[in-house]
Amino acid sequence: MLTLPPEIMVILQPFMQVFSERTWDWVQVLVVGAILAPGKRTISSVLTAVGLSQEKQFQRYHRVLNRAQWSGLQASQILLGLLVSALAREGDVIVAADETLERRKGQKIKAKGVFRDAVRSSKQYTVCSFGLRWVSMMLLVKLPWSSRVWALPFLTVLAPSEKTNLAHGKRHKTSIDWVMQMVSQVRRWLRGRCLVLVVDGGLTALKLGHCCRNFAHPVTLVARLRLDAQLYDWPGKQPPGKPGPKPQKGQRQPSLKQRLKDPKTIWRTITLPWYGGTGRTLEISTGTSLWCTRGEHPLPIRWVLVRDPLGQLKDTAYLCTHFEATAQQIINWYVLRWTVETTFEDARTHLGLETQRQWSTLAIARTTPALLGLYALIVLLAHHLLRADPLPVQTTAWYTKPEATFSDVIAFVRRHLWQHTEFAHSHASTRPVPIPDAVLRGFLDLLCHAA
């Protein structure tokens, strides 16, 4: 078995309570192998990366995913606790929720469906693909060695289509239903902390807003708002003696689309941090309203209408369920969610997301959340190993990177594991091989940065 260095075990030790003593030894091998292995993250490639390609009892490592009894929800709680205590001790805890598609085919994959493929689709046409839809919740934090915000996944759930659920006799939950359940769980885990939830337009709904507002310690919801949303004034006082229920809303307000064309709309020019770490000068208008749709109770919101004076960006609107938040703060919160897409892309490129080949229903439900959680774990390991030092960034004479990316983070952790871990079948004495230092460093760089 592996003998991991103490500085690595400090981060992994809290997860030991999730597994049995026997399973825990196999879990450590899978975690280290998944970090070191390039390309596909199959069990065979993971075992090969840690020197166990001749392991006769290889099936026991498969059992960790398809048979062993352990709670992924408990592991998510531990991971979130470690992330918050290390990276978000003060201020608001900002989390983002989004969905992604894992392209998979096969008759034995029961949860697969046909979904819109956001990566292959465009504004002109829509591409649909077979696969699994996942809803992931990520912690948005800044790291000492990076100028941008990082999205670290800690809780991921499978969200099959309605057709798939009905075919297997299961009650259907939409992605919004899953987000409501997930934020309720996070609210219980982080009692006493101010929590902000950021979602894209596809997950915006009144019932999610009511869910966030109805907690004993409300969660602030920040989301994109449709320009044709129905907005109303607050209801006035009902005349004394008038029968019937009290009105829930007042008079209809102009829509946000109408406000864009109204010359009486008051605009304010501000400069905001924008996508890609750049600054952007925009014009904003804000107000408070009751957002209503048929069949739902009105939701009090602060809306922010944004337009580009240069005409290069589309007119957009955002909502927030916290009235005291400023328009600039609401936009800043929403802009943070762009790193979620970066995380999904990094997980596909460097952690082999979509390359696993499990057919067992339980293994499928565990593998993708484990790989996304591994992304956050690798960043946490790098932060713990670096302490206050800067993260080494790979540069060459023909390519200079301004700051570290996830490829540098995983390379740093890999290098530490290779230098300080005692692998299986390691010999006490080795035969020296004369390799020039420059060539050896080149080999290490290629291995550490292999995707």
Per-residue pLDDT of the chain (451 residues; tens, 9 = 90+): 678 889 999 999 999 999 999 999 999 999 999 999 988 999 999 998 888 888 889 999 999 999 999 999 999 999 999 999 999 999 999 999 999 999 988 888 888 899 988 878 877 888 888 999 999 999 999 999 998 999 999 999 999 999 999 998 999 999 999 999 999 999 999 998 999 999 998 999 999 999 999 999 999 999 999 999 999 999 887 777 777 778 888 899 999 999 999 999 999 999 988 876 778 899 999 999 999 988 889 999 999 999 999 888 899 999 999 999 999 999 999 999 999 999 999 999 999 999 988 889 999 999 999 999 999 999 999 999 998 788 988 877 788 888 889 999 999 999 999 888 877 555 555 556 565 666 556 656 666 777 7
Residue 305 maps to a domain: yes
**Block residue for tokens 């299961």:** 170
pLDDT of residue 438: 60
Whether 295 is in a domain gets the answer yes
Report if residue 2 sits inside a domain: no
pLDDT at 388 (0 to 100):
79
pLDDT digits (tens, 9 = 90+) for 11-22: 999 999 999 999
**Model pLDDT, residue 433:** 55
Q: What is residue 116's predicted lDDT score, i.e. its pLDDT?
A: 87
- What local confidence, expressed as pLDDT, does residue 241 receive? 72
Sequence-distant contacts of 26-31: CB under 8 A, at least 24 apart: 26/60, 26/61, 26/63, 26/64, 27/64, 28/1, 28/2, 28/4, 29/1, 29/2, 29/61, 30/61, 30/64, 31/374, 31/377
* Listed residue (402, 392, 350) closest to 371, CA to CA: 350
Per the structure, how many domains does the chain have? 1
Rg of the chain, C-alpha, whole Å: 25
pLDDT at 314: 92
The answer as to whether 441 is a domain residue is: no
Q: Is 306 part of a structural domain of the chain?
A: yes
Residue 222 within any structural domain of the chain: yes
pLDDT score for 119: 78
DSSP H or E run through 250? none
Structure tokens that stand for 377 in this block: 């774990």
Q: Are 321 and 332 in contact (CB under 8 A)?
A: no
Instruction: Provide the strand spans (E) within 170-216.
Output: 195-199
Which residues span the domain enclosing 265? 201-234+248-329
pLDDT of residue 441: 65
Predicted confidence at residue 245, as pLDDT, reads 77
Confidence at residue 435, expressed as pLDDT on a 0 to 100 scale: 54
pLDDT score at 322: 95
pTM of the model: 0.92
Task: Give domain status of residue 213, yes or no.
Answer: yes
Whether residue 83 lies inside any domain: the answer is no
